Chain A
């Protein structure tokens, strides 16, 4: 028996040795070794991510959606109610909150202690622009209850008005942070290369944008706007432009302009350009069109070339009756795009349709040589994303001058805007055409004449504003809902597309996961600053 007990002891002892060896009994393995812990963060690394995410995931996609609905870009969808599904905006929503704003918040935890006021200021500008954009596209969105983690898993939305006010407060704080001392500058400033006066101008310009947007509901908005204009401390020249520059590296990482990646591929273009927009530029002989677009063919089927059932089916058809007076199917001189709302399948036209040009996407300059383009061609994606441009502030001023009845002032501002826009976009390539500067001068004169001859001068301003907005339609979309101009946009190819999109559906990852969120009852819901009459009926082009 003794022997047995000894043996049992031995077995269990040896077993115990096995059990405790090889880490098998360690019961505290809760830290994730596959990532850093939050305590290892670096505020510079945060700010790098915030800037890139802002350009790639906020300004570009919202700028794109805004441009699509107002015909600056092509929209795929015959039915406004279903043209954009809620999940279309999941990525933007996720990046706005979970990445950009949460990263800013975590960066600030470190930056406040370290006195990195510039970092904080840049974060505030980016956050303000992001918040304003969310309100412009969706209406009421979470802010005061947002980013509280496990303390509030269902943040309530704040009114668009209060989010606007919060954004303006952030911009004011940013201006203070840019003017004072800072322990050090950020590792990278992709926008202004550590020029803090320009950052202050950008902050002021975002305030102008917000005031202008809310002028229908806020009596003091125009005054606030004009105060900044009078101070002159805003983006008034091209050198002040608030923009993000892209590179030309294709993979690991892909640093190309997002629109370039969709236009210059090994199988040709994947995006269509908007027929209305190209037609406006062609008929007004706008010199920017060679920079905005690249034509792969001299003539589109049915529009200078033989109709082709395969590559452009509509070249065989007459325009529908509601298209009377509008461009249809394609544009002359090889501008091969798509009509607003066209939801047909994709024919093999990747090497014949018109591509995005050198401005702002970093594609090819159109020297009328008509080559098919692939990835790597043109500037390889080395373009910019415009966030706020000096030309746009001129158009904003023109809008208010028209409202005040200052027609001459409006014309001057409009021509300033055109001039800045032309000089900006034409600086993206060298044009060998000896007539280039004459063309530019003529265009300037022609636009002045058009304005003078127009009975509805706002129509001219609005179209010119849209032409300058190429690359970011956020403010054009706001303008369209605020003023109802232009009134001559190409209608949807569908005669009965439903009411215009006055705000987009809430993203699915908000509406479906937040118990305090309710999806909107359709796209006719108007944001707080939009007091115009409901759609359909307003805006007139729809």
Chain B
């Protein structure tokens, strides 16, 4: 069935493609005026090109154009006018002041375009200018700072790593808080299929990476529930509505073929390196050792900490002062290193700082090409769009690369028999590869695999990271400086271990609309989204970290196939019942089926070094998982307009879901919203100060259904659990750890929002403010159970979360040019804040740890923020003073203490656009205020002694504030390493938490548009060059200064855990140029 459908689509699209038309160029002239007379300085531009002219003092213009071209007339304060060139050679235009024109049109739920003034809820729109020609190929990261209420966080700085998107804060701690992505009207899987958990390594892209930002026409962000009611449960976290260029052709494009080519080249480099100190080298307590730590002697010979005191360096052992014996010569014979490297047997090794970490990284190259062609038939009844994009993004970390190829076709045909059909089809192939990244606590990795960053940033200054051979020439195993070879050389990791993910994806839709009469339409739409994600996790044998299996060599290959089938029927109509009263409605039914199927093989025990084939491994085990879920929905929406100044929308949807028991399967969500525009009332029109004011209010509801199989209890079977005395595998059964809960209900969410939009001072100042208040009830919690119940977890409904926030968008035009090419400067600011408080936990528990480790993670605690972080704290006595033990270190309170709140106080984004002549300069500055972060990177750099804490001399001692065991003020002196190593790095969790405030220069760009006169005799319609950069500068003022740590990292992966980081790597900085050419 699927095959015939695809064939049909392809035939249809071929029909569009042969519709190219070419027309003859001629001279168009005319006069532009407004109600007061001729209008000089009006810009006249041929749409989709940079060719154009301006009206002269008398409002006249001349321009060469083709029949079918669209002329765009624009003038500050006036509404833009577009006219299509037809048979006539004269086009006269009367422009009207902006205040009196219709409002902008935005895309709302189910792709319905509506006037923004009619909406009773907040919608942010981002157009292609803010999305294309960017260094980042990840559409979500490109959105950073561009829509209020939207928080974007990268998992790390690797090209192709996952990205978290949260709109208006978190509603739920067990369900996904990621928004629904809808591309060209159909749901689009934005899952992040991590290749494991955060401890063992969870590399994997977020699947919106399969979209090329350059192929996107516009994005609407539906933030509130009133906006997203029609999406039912899927829309509960907000909706990112993406219209691709292919999809937008459905709206009717220019009649001429219009080709745009964008090519870009960027440099991708690490955004920050710690400010390493270069006074001391590897060791502990000022004594030398081939350790992880850098608390060794100084690089000066003299002084209390000088190397002159160390027999290893002062010539006693090596014969040459200032030199050590080479670590590969002195390594334990059992490592095989001395035998493999006889040349180092008597070699010397200089005691000096080596700056290896800097050289470990590289400058990656990002190249990007996007070609888009669009056009329409002469009649305008058939339109099409074809897009091809290629991205090659080399990460700054060796071994990290992302390659994406995407191809899409879309079109629309208005048939003679009242049918309109439109369709888009996209194919994307995305290849992502990275060295392993996994949690590390500053001493190798914590989980089973390796991590590229796990042993890198705290490389002792005296270790020649880049100069020491990393591979044993005989066995291929990793070799490094530590004398028992228990550190995996980062270069070995790069060359011998990694994760790859190659995704083939097809998505698109087919819609047919039947126009019953001028008032009524029937519409059917089928959407398909299928991807096949091929994952590999491998490590050659001879690694030195992780499990014994990992060291024996591992090769895991598996495929994830995800399918979303979406059917949507709707019946819609609109009636102007009187001059004063109009209404429109839509009724519909929809079904969505999600299937996720994982199959693969996990092999361990590599035989021949370096060969990654399952036959080359001793043992194989299965990898499999299957999940399916169906959602059926029925919806209705009716909107009334009253005299153009008031609008009322009522909507409702019922969902039925397949993985709950029959009683809890169905839920209905109503919503209502109103919009009122006082400035449209007779007495308030025409004010020069307040030209437009809209007040709005909306109420919406939604629900969150659980995923997976929460109501069933299971039994485990393991065919390789143990072996009997003869070496035969023993098969075991064990009870599943999840207690199935038949009574599980969906979470319900209700939101009330109010807002105001205004334009003041001839639209110089625009304001859009929203306040929302949202409660989530019956939260589904994967509640940890006391194992003495017989289970360790159950999914249950508890309590309530209250989520409220403000969003404020301001725009101001500092300078407006009265003429094209004049000086103009506008600033847009968005500020938003969100606070989600657990108001009730219900049942009988006062804390639910929902992410991270059970004793170090995020927890829901009554009265606290949903992103509360818990962990061990410094023990306090009854007066609240710190307790210090007899050794002078803090006493640890190991309970689940609150150690921070990862939720920021506010986000502020400021963008500026300045243009003069043919230059446009813009920048985006972002400010995230507050929010805490548990950082292993910063604490490891301090605890291992490779950076200095600001203003601290490491040869001085510390007396920690607090009271000793006797209750008297502590007087015990401890040295630097005891404080930073034992207390900060490996003491209480509280000491590793810092404020994550960060200021960032997110984007800077400078573009130059080649004046059209240079292009008159070329085939080019326009040419522009843009120089831009991303993340060029940041400052996290409350982090340890010399760590230069970027808190934009999600150590727990894309999920609900926030505020934790386990040496996950730095962020990236990208800069370069792009050229856009139109034909």
Contact = CB atoms under 8 A, between A and B. Distances in A.
Interface string B730-758: 11111111010100000000000000000
B219 to A, nearest CB: 28
Interface string A474-504: 0000000000000000000011111000000
B628 A154 contact: no
A78 B293 CA distance: 21
Given A49-B732, A519-B895, A267 B486 contact: yes
Contact of A345 (B626, B660, B981): B981
B131 interface: no
Interface in B315-362: 332-335
Interface string A302-322: 000000011101001000000
B552 interface: yes
A345 B284 contact: yes
A329 B290 CA distance: 20
A103 B334 contact: no
Contacts of A142: 786, 788
A349 B331 CA distance: 10
A98 B790 CA distance: 4
Interface stretch (A17-25, A399-407, A437-445): A17-25
A515 B846 contact: yes
A117 to B, nearest CB: 19
Contact of B787 (A52, A97, A152): A97
Contacts of A255: 722-723
Contacts of B853: 87
B733 A27 contact: no
Interface stretch (B704-712, B826-834, B1071-1079): B704-712
Most buried by B among A103, A371, A511: A103
A148 B287 contact: no
B784 interface: yes
Interface stretch (B46-54, B158-166, B375-383, B713-721): B713-721
B569 A15 contact: yes
Interface in A146-165: 146-150, 152-155
Contacts of A137: none
A448 interface: no
Contacts of B289: 309-311, 313, 347-348
A188 B724 CA distance: 8
B291 A345 contact: yes
A252 B618 CA distance: 9
Contacts of B627: 34
Given A247-B725, A351-B334, A153 B785 contact: yes
Given A29-B629, A36-B716, A313-B285, A512 B854 contact: yes
Contacts of A310: 283, 287-291, 312, 483
Interface string A66-86: 000000000000110110011
B485 interface: yes
Given A27-B632, A30-B711, A150-B739, A496 B733 contact: no
Given A29-B629, A38-B714, A98-B792, A15 B483 contact: no
Contacts of A245: 725
Interface in A1-26: 4, 7-8, 11-12, 15, 18-19, 21-26
A82 B894 contact: yes
A155 B725 contact: no
Contact of A348 (B484, B783, B787, B894): B484
A38 B735 contact: yes
Interface in B814-853: 843-847, 849, 853
Nearest to B872: A85
Contacts of A11: 514, 522, 524, 569
Interface stretch (A88-96, A199-207, A233-241, A279-287): A88-96
Contacts of B441: none
Given A78-B887, A513-B845, A311 B483 contact: yes
Interface stretch (A168-176, A372-380, A457-465): A372-380
Max count, chain B CB within 10 A of own CB: residue among A142, A150, A514: A150
Task: Give the residue among A21, A96, A313, A508 with the most B Cβ atoms within 10 A.
Answer: A508
Contacts of B845: 513, 515
Contacts of B787: 93-94, 96-98, 509-510
Among B288, B291, B334, the most chain A Cβ lie within 10 Å of the Cβ of: B334
B604 interface: yes
Contacts of B477: 266
B789 A153 contact: yes
A99 B284 contact: no
Contacts of A344: 284
Contacts of B552: 250-251
Contacts of A155: 786, 788-789
Nearest to B554: A251
A253 B721 contact: yes
Interface in A98-127: 98-99, 101-103, 105-106
Given A79-B885, A310-B312, A348-B484, A251 B605 contact: yes
B894 A85 contact: yes
Interface in A491-542: 494-498, 505, 508-515, 517, 519
Contacts of A146: 788-790
B665 interface: yes
Contacts of A4: 516
B245 to A, nearest CB: 28
Interface stretch (A39-47, A360-368, A390-398, A423-431): A39-47
A249 interface: yes
Contacts of A261: 548
A343 interface: yes
Contacts of B284: 313, 344-345, 347
Interface in B526-551: 526, 544, 548-549, 551
Contacts of B629: 29
B1 A375 contact: no
> What are the 3 tightest A-B residue pairs by CB atom distance, in nearest-first order?
A372-B334, A350-B484, A496-B886
Interface of B: 1, 283-285, 287-293, 310-312, 332-335, 477, 482-486, 514, 516, 522, 524, 526, 544, 548-549, 551-552, 565, 567, 569, 589, 591-593, 604-605, 618-621, 624-630, 632, 656-662, 665, 708-709, 711-718, 720-725, 727, 729-737, 739, 741, 783-792, 794, 843-847, 849, 853-855, 872, 885-887, 891-892, 894-896, 965, 981-982
Interface of A: 4, 7-8, 11-12, 15, 18-19, 21-38, 40-42, 45-46, 48-49, 52-53, 78-79, 81-82, 85-87, 90, 93-94, 96-99, 101-103, 105-106, 141-142, 146-150, 152-155, 188, 190, 245, 247, 249-255, 261, 265-268, 296, 309-311, 313, 316, 343-345, 347-352, 371-375, 494-498, 505, 508-515, 517, 519
21 contacts: A7-B522, A21-B1, A29-B659, A35-B716, A41-B733, A45-B717, A45-B731, A79-B891, A141-B788, A155-B788, A155-B789, A247-B723, A247-B725, A250-B552, A253-B720, A253-B729, A309-B287, A310-B483, A350-B332, A509-B792, A512-B847
Given A19-B567, A309-B288, A348-B482, 14 more contacts: A8-B522, A29-B629, A79-B885, A97-B789, A147-B789, A149-B789, A247-B722, A266-B544, A267-B486, A268-B332, A268-B486, A310-B290, A352-B332, A371-B334
